[in-house]
Amino acid sequence: MQSHTALVSTDAELHMPEYVDRQALKVAGELVNFIENEALPGTGLEADQFWSGCAALMTDLAPLNRELLAERDAMQAAIDSWHRQERSKPHDSTAYRQFLESIGYLVPEGEPFEIDTDNVDPEIGLIAAPQLVVPVMNARFALNAANARWGSLYDALYGSDVIAPKAEIKGTGYDEARGSAVIAWSSEFLDSVLPFERGLHADVTAYAVESGDNGHTVSAILADETPVRLANPDQFRGFVADGECFRLLFAHNGLHFELHVDRNHPVGRQSPSGLADVILEAAVTTIQDCEDSVAAVDAEDKVKVYRNWLGLMKGDLVDSFEKNGQQTNRRLAEDRTYTGSGGDPLVLPGRSLMLVRNVGHLMTTDAVLDAAGDETPEGMLDGLVTVLAAMHDLRKIEGIRNSRSGSVYIVKPKMHGPKEVAFANTLFDRIEDVLGLERHTIKMGVMDEERRTSANLRECIRAARHRLIFINTGFLDRTGDEIHTSMQAGPVVPKGEIKDAAWLASYEDNNVDQGLASGFEGRAQIGKGMWAKPDRMKEMLADKIGQARSGANTAWVPSPTAAVLHATHYHQVDVATVRADLRQRPPIALDTLLTPPLLGARNLPDETIRRELDNNCQSILGYVVRWIDQGIGCSKVPDIDDVSLMEDRATLRISAQHIANWLEHGLLSSEEIEEAMRRMAAVVDKQNAGDPSYRPMATDPVASISFQTALELVLEGAHQPNGYTEPVLHRRRREAKAAHKQ
């Protein structure tokens, strides 16, 4: 068997940036250029002021960052040895809890409190709606996401599998039968969110705006030629008239939507009422992601990430590309203006409110070296630069603005427990000081995605209570951490069963309960996780409504289409009403949250083990090969049943940890793993055969950096810090960049 470490480059072979001295720091030239020529001008800050603040920040806080990481390792080592000792005995939840308390993994809960975050935009505090996530490194997608605040319900239904599989679309033009089904679906939806006093939207032959002394009202004519009014006339908020075409604006459950009436439009022409489209307010918030959906491993990459975010914050980001044979320039959408129903002009935001996800506390970057020549914490640099970029937005009073409440929204991922949240809070204080911003301008969204955070969620919330704007169950990372934390406790159940295990339900419920108990109403989001099957929209419509019913006022979607469809759930469910009932339920049992999803005495058939291995290998290779060779951080990868799944670094963590766990407990051998990887490499090569920039793995796996990365992630998985994939991915991507440049 070939060693999986066959390819290791030394740093000397890798690309090293040209450094420039700035205060006590050495900063990569491309970052200096970006900061001094693009980001700083217009903020009122001088370069010296910025770099000396940056240097002080690194000197004061980097050691604390390192201490926190050392604490993670020490706790994991203690947990590993506890499990090794206890493995042969039945699980004793009381003894386990006491042990976790004794090592400081579980901390005591303090007095009741509520968050007091101020200056929160209504998109976060008041509106229950989908949250779109997008890799900010991809300008085309990032702009699309920012503009996904409004989306066509007709397009989302027609272009997805909700009505019928996409393969069934007839011909290359407009499939009328499918179109009719879309219209029927939408009419029923309108009947539920915009009812008339009598009659149905399907029976409308004309919509009309009537103007009077007190403003405007809307009415409709039914097929029997009788006029009808809305059951609730207040739902009508405004309109735009342009000759024969007009757009009518309504609101329901805090969300707006428009009816587009246009008898000249190919769809409107076929409809008795002339209704050509229904436009929903959809991705009300968007996370522009610098973390798990991007592959940014050096100064060059970091600058790409920061530049796109800066463009979004300045409002001038443009991307030009060819689509369907046509050159397109994509830029941020303007706000939407209407004549309000009361007669005054009405302006609604044209774009999603943007948050930016920084990286966590783990990685360091060579974009900035400290006085000793050591790399600095990447999360600290992300904080400083992304907030600097957002200052352009804070200074605006008109035009394309993001936060109208004067806040910058940072999502902080992968934090373990209250001390790490407190550290992020201190970092944000210090960034505010460096940049001259008022205290708590920077808001914090905490990903509830590591076990130590879930188990101490109330204290994590307390640690950021003056700036907290969300807690979101990142169940994908959380699953990876669940496997890694209990790596030595025994083999875990097959991947598909982990989500049905007891810990997950109590984790999800606890997130809602703690948010409600901490006074999130009006100030912060209680968020739920990603829909990871981007092409399975019918299934999403049936399933994801559960997240709104669970009391969450937002949940993640992978695409603008998914945002539009998920928005219908917040019309169907009034989250505020749901929450009133939830407040009565008893708290979750911490012991359940802490129960790992182990196989126990159960034996799995060989076929189950083989299939599970093949499936994991296929997902890992399918994702890793694009990450390593092409720098793509989020991909759609088919699983073994040919279902396309969204894969990012969090799903990679799960698959890698899953195999590592079975290897650790003898369900698999390293030979079997390598053999499966080789077979699956051929499958993945075939899946990518149409991509001219693809580098096949199967012909020479030893020479394929991607293949070796996949193997390393798995074979060394049990020893990676908290099971994270970043250290291996970053090292190997840098190696591939250097190799492919030659």
Quick check: 474 binds ligand ACO (CB under 6 A)?
A: yes
CA dist 716 to 102, 373, 612, 708, Å? 29, 28, 19, 11
Quick check: 134 binds ligand ACO (CB under 6 A)?
A: yes
Provide, rounded to whole angstroms, the least separation between the CB of residue 47 and ligand ACO: 33
For Mg ion, give the closer residue by CB, 260 or 658: 658
- Within 315-402, residue ranges assigned H as helices are 378-394
| Rg of the Cα atoms in the chain | 26
Provide, rounded to whole angstroms, the least separation between the CB of residue 652 and ligand ACO: 10
Quick check: 449 binds Mg ion (CB under 5 A)?
A: yes
Indicate the SS3 state at residue 597.
coil
- Do residues 302 and 31 lie in contact, with contact meaning Cβ atoms separated by under 8 Å? yes
Residue 191 appears among annotated catalytic residues: no
Partner in contact with 634, chosen from ligand ACO, Mg ion, ligand O=CC(=O)O, none, beta carbon below 5 to 8 Å by kind = ligand ACO
Please identify, among the stretches 36-44, 129-137, 202-210, 544-552, the one whose residues bind ligand ACO according to the rule CB under 6 A.
Answer: 129-137
Please identify, among the stretches 109-117, 395-403, 505-513, 633-641, the one whose residues bind ligand ACO according to the rule CB under 6 A.
Answer: 633-641
Quick check: 729 binds ligand ACO (CB under 6 A)?
A: no
Please identify, among the stretches 183-191, 391-399, 432-440, 646-654, the one whose residues bind ligand ACO according to the rule CB under 6 A.
Answer: 646-654
Q: Which of 382, 420, 459, 477 binds Mg ion (CB under 5 A)?
A: 477
Quick check: 292 binds ligand ACO (CB under 6 A)?
A: yes
* 113 CB-near residues (< 8 Å, 6+ apart): 462, 465, 518
Provide, rounded to whole angstroms, the least separation between the CB of residue 401 and ligand O=CC(=O)O: 27
Q: Which of 76, 425, 630, 635 binds ligand ACO (CB under 6 A)?
A: 635
Q: State yes or no: 558 annotated in a binding site.
A: yes
Quick check: 477 binds ligand O=CC(=O)O (CB under 6 A)?
A: yes
* 695 CB-near residues (< 8 Å, 6+ apart): 625, 629, 704, 706
Please identify, among the stretches 54-62, 323-331, 472-480, 617-625, the one whose residues bind ligand O=CC(=O)O according to the rule CB under 6 A.
Answer: 472-480
The beta-strand segments (E) located in 291-325 are: 318-323
* 404 CB-near residues (< 8 Å, 6+ apart): 121, 349
Q: Which of 311, 379, 529, 723 binds ligand O=CC(=O)O (CB under 6 A)?
A: 529
Q: State yes or no: 733 annotated in a binding site.
A: no
Residues within window 266-305 making contact with ligand O=CC(=O)O, judged by CB under 6 A: 292
Which among 256, 206, 194, 255 has a CA at the least distance from the CA of 230? 194
Indicate the SS3 state at residue 36.
helix
CA dist 364 to 76, 296, 370, 387, Å? 21, 12, 11, 19
Q: State yes or no: 257 annotated in a binding site.
A: no
- Within 127-213, residue ranges assigned H as helices are 139-146, 153-158, 176-193
Length of the chain: 742
How many other CB atoms sit within 10 Å of the CB of residue 401? 17
Report the amino acid identity of residue 706: S
Quick check: 623 binds ligand O=CC(=O)O (CB under 6 A)?
A: no
Q: State yes or no: 474 annotated in a binding site.
A: yes
Provide, rounded to whole angstroms, the least separation between the CB of residue 654 and ligand ACO: 9
Partner in contact with 726, chosen from ligand ACO, Mg ion, ligand O=CC(=O)O, none, beta carbon below 5 to 8 Å by kind = none
Task: Round to whole Å and give the CA distance between 326 and 329.
Answer: 10
Provide, rounded to whole angstroms, the least separation between the CB of residue 163 and ligand ACO: 17
β-bridge pairing 285-289 and 131-135? parallel
Residue 648 appears among annotated catalytic residues: yes
Catalytic position from the list 648, 695, 733, 734: 648
DSSP 271: S
Residue 307: how many CA atoms within 13 Å on its side-chain side? Answer: 20
Which among 427, 318, 387, 332 has a CA at the least distance from the CA of 40? 387
Q: Which of 19, 51, 141, 196 binds ligand ACO (CB under 6 A)?
A: 141
Task: Give residues in contact with Mg ion (CB under 5 A).
Answer: 449, 474, 477, 650
Task: Give residues in contact with ligand O=CC(=O)O (CB under 6 A).
Answer: 292, 413, 447, 449, 474-477, 529-530, 650
Residues forming the active site: 357, 648
